[in-house]
Amino acid sequence: MKTRVTELLEIQYPIIQGGMAWVAEHRLAAAVSNAGGLGIIGAASAPAEVVRDEIKKCKELTDKPFGVNIMLLNPNADDVARIVVEEGVKVVTTGAGNPSKYMEMWKNAGVKVIPVVASVAMAKMMERAGADAVVAEGMESGGHIGSTTTFALVPQVADAVEIPVIAAGGIADARGFAAAIMLGGEAVQMGTRFVASKESIVHANYKDKVIKAKDIDSTVTGTTTGHPVRCLKNKMTKEYIKLEKEGADFMELEKLTLGSLRKAVIEGDVTNGTLMAGQIAGLVKAEASCQEIIVEIMNGAKELLGR
Ligand code: TUI
């Protein structure tokens, strides 16, 4: 299936993987790229040299294009932004902020830039700044989110910009893919489905929580701090939201989540850890390889869109 996104990124299928902190490391990125999508290494809060190492390891596992996601709240973002250029990375996605200050450097180096946005205003600003495409990410997504749903956001962004739009948030199967195309998307970005993939290095306890999750099992922490984060309900979210209701200050809340994503992903602590996942976790019923996921979605979408 060809769209402006497959042409832009030189990939076979219009499916890109979310730049998930701790989860999106080189093995997952290479598996998605080898399956014909666009794998992404999530730089998250990692030191820049760790990201360089991840890029090098990914190159050893795939000769297909892959990208790096730069989380703009990362204090090392300036260094990571430079390293992607030095390492000849083909695509950058960004999250949790405005990447305008890096745009000139990336464009001069021929890097394709795809900011993740949660509003029409931000999408327009990114187009003006020179973005090649945008990911319009609805609040169904896992992790740091905006406040508009995918169903409402994608068509409004598609109408507001000329550049291609990639839909994200609540998409995990062929129906979601086909719907995203109907809404004006030219590709999808998926996170949660890939968390539960065979190649994902996420601890078995975390994968199990995603696979067993029901439709209403996610919640949002951080609505009072300005950094809302969607994750699966557990002891940590219960305590966090209780503290927020009591008017706890930022530092007190930070204590609860310091290192908590690592705890969940690496140690499998599903009680105190942060289990970032989207509302679509309830649809993810089994572990499958990235190849199986992508083939299933593309075959299903062909049938749905051909009707
Ligand atoms: O970035 C994400 N998802 C993330 S980042 C992350 S790490 C983190 N952990 C705790 C607190 C905060 C971050 C986990 N998941 N998705 C893309 C995304 N970007 N969603 C929303 C936004 C966004 C928000 C505001 C993009 C731009 C923006 O603009 C603000 C500005 O600077 O104008």
Residues in a beta bridge with 17: 190
SS3 232: strand
State if residue 138 touches ligand 1 by the CB under 6 angstroms criterion.
Answer: no
Give the C-alpha separation, 279 to 167, whole Å: 15
State if residue 145 touches ligand 1 by the CB under 6 angstroms criterion.
Answer: yes
Residues in a beta bridge with 221: 229
Confidence (pLDDT) at 296: 98
Q: What value does the CA radius of gyration of the chain take, rounded to a whole number of Å?
A: 18
Q: Whose CA is nearest to atom 21 of ligand 1?
A: 145
Q: Whose CA is nearest to atom 1 of ligand 1?
A: 95
SS3 267: helix
State if residue 143 touches ligand 1 by the CB under 6 angstroms criterion.
Answer: yes
State if residue 77 touches ligand 1 by the CB under 6 angstroms criterion.
Answer: no
Beta strand 91-95 with 66-71 is parallel
Residue 307 Cα to ligand 1 midpoint, Å, equals 37
Confidence (pLDDT) at 307: 78
Residues 6+ apart with CB under 8 A from 29: 17, 39, 40, 41, 58, 62, 66, 67
Residues comprising the chain, all counted:
307
Closest CA to 184 of 159, 201, 208, 150: 159
Locate 26 and state its tokens.
């080189």
Confidence (pLDDT) at 246: 96
Confidence (pLDDT) at 59: 98
Beta strand 229-232 with 112-117 is unpaired
pLDDT truncated to tens, each residue of the chain (307 aa)? 899 999 999 999 999 999 999 999 999 999 999 999 999 999 999 999 999 999 999 999 999 999 999 999 999 999 999 999 999 999 999 999 999 999 999 999 999 999 999 999 999 999 999 999 999 999 999 999 999 999 999 999 999 999 999 999 999 999 999 999 999 999 999 999 999 999 999 999 999 999 999 999 999 999 999 999 999 999 999 999 999 999 999 999 999 999 999 999 999 999 999 999 999 999 999 999 999 999 999 999 999 999 7
CA separation (Å) from 66 to 41, 74, 171, 223, 290? 8, 21, 20, 33, 14
State if residue 95 touches ligand 1 by the CB under 6 angstroms criterion.
Answer: yes
Quick one: how many helices (H) and strands (E) in the chain? 14, 11
Confidence (pLDDT) at 120: 98
Give the C-alpha separation, 234 to 128, whole Å: 41
Q: Which atom of ligand 1 is nearest to the CA of 44?
A: 7
Q: Could you give phi then psi for residue 46, rounded to 5 degrees?
A: -70, 150
State if residue 28 touches ligand 1 by the CB under 6 angstroms criterion.
Answer: no
Locate 12 and state its tokens.
């076979």
CA separation (Å) from 170 to 57, 78, 173? 30, 31, 9
Q: Whose CA is nearest to atom 11 of ligand 1?
A: 227
State if residue 129 touches ligand 1 by the CB under 6 angstroms criterion.
Answer: no
Residues in a beta bridge with 144: 229
Confidence (pLDDT) at 145: 98
**Distance of alpha carbon 220 from its chain centroid, rounded?**
17
Residues in a beta bridge with 219: 231
Amino acid at 162: E
